């Protein structure tokens, strides 16, 4: 994330820094890492990160392996644009924060107190994760952010920076941005490519579009997610004024669901899915 400048520094506080604030920090980095520089701490740190909090984030394709429980005093003298207390206890123990421009309290129930089966407890952590994610999405819309008018090429360049880390981790390289004409309209186009497959990004009149490409087969991102059975689990933060949110959603979806394409192990399945959607016979068969 070093490539992103002017990020807002945000601190998430709960009592133990074992679950809620750890997940909030992870989600801020996952979903809005180009805009936020998040950390988390506890007013009375537990000294560990709850295994089910790690599991809930791992479900999204990301890791909490390097997370550890930290005390709030560690950050007491640091400046923050925003401090978010994610539980009433932390809000009571830290009603003010030196150097914080704004303080917000989210009253989020602690899933660690749930008694029940392993499945029920994990479901509670997932529900808490999803609640935190919705609150974070709403917070980002409420923050006073400007969305300047940008050319399609500039939007594409910024969007490519958001998704680039995921693609480069699998050996994909960005080939730069070019301008094409489609039906008389200009379109900014760029590709992350590797060994005959690619993720093509387009911006048309400020709207981002992504296509998965293998050889001559091209499939829109939502269509590919449908083929993977992931349509109901795609990243949809709701209405947004920020055109770059399309790339943030794409990044989350790519990490969670597109690994078969990125690793190359699912290309045959991609080709079969494309052919089936377009009524083409399977290889070796006549229609």
Q: Is 227 a catalytic residue?
A: no
Residue 179 and residue 202 in contact, taking contact as beta carbons nearer than 8 Å: no
Set 57, 72, 87, 167: catalytic member: 87
* Structure tokens given for 248: 């943030």
Strands 173-182 and 207-214: unpaired
Give me the catalytic one of 94, 122, 228, 244. Answer: 94
Question: Cα(226)–Cα(220) distance, rounded to whole angstroms?
Answer: 10
Residue 103: what are its φ and ψ, rounded to 5°? -130, 130
- Residue 222 to residue 228: CA distance in whole angstroms: 10
Catalytic site residue from 11, 13, 14, 214: 14
Tokens 């809000």: give the residue. Answer: 91
| Residue 154 CB partners (closer than 8 Å, separation 6+) | none
Tell me if residue 94 is catalytic.
yes
Task: List active site positions.
Answer: 14, 87, 94
């Amino acid at each position: 994330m070093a490539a992103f400048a002017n990020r807002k520094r945000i601190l998430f506080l709960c009592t133990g820094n074992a679950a809620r604030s750890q997940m909030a920090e992870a989600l801020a980095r996952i979903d809005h890492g180009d805009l936020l520089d998040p950390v988390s701490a506890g007013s009375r740190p537990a000294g560990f990160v709850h295994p089910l909090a790690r599991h809930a984030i791992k479900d999204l394709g990301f890791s909490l392996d390097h997370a550890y429980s930290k005390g709030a005093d560690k950050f007491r003298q640091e400046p923050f644009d925003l401090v978010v207390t994610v539980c009433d206890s932390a809000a009571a123990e830290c009603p003010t924060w030196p150097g914080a421009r704004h303080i917000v309290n989210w009253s989020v129930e602690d899933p660690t107190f749930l008694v029940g089966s392993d499945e029920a407890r994990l479901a509670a952590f997932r529900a808490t994760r999803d609640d935190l994610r919705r609150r974070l999405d709403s917070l980002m819309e409420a923050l006073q952010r400007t969305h300047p008018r940008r050319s399609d090429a500039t939007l594409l360049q910024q969007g490519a920076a958001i998704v680039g880390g995921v693609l480069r981790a699998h050996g994909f390289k960005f080939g730069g941005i070019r301008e094409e004409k489609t039906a008389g309209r200009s379109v900014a186009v760029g590709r992350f490519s590797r060994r005959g497959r690619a993720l093509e990004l387009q911006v048309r009149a400020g709207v981002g579009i992504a296509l998965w490409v293998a050889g001559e087969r091209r499939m829109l991102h939502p269509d590919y997610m449908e083929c993977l059975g992931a349509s109901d689990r795609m990243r949809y933060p709701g209405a947004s004024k920020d055109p770059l949110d399309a790339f943030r959603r794409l990044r989350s979806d790519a990490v969670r669901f597109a690994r078969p394409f990125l690793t190359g192990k699912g290309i045959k399945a991609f080709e079969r899915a494309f052919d089936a959607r377009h009524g083409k016979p399977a290889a070796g068969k006549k229609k």
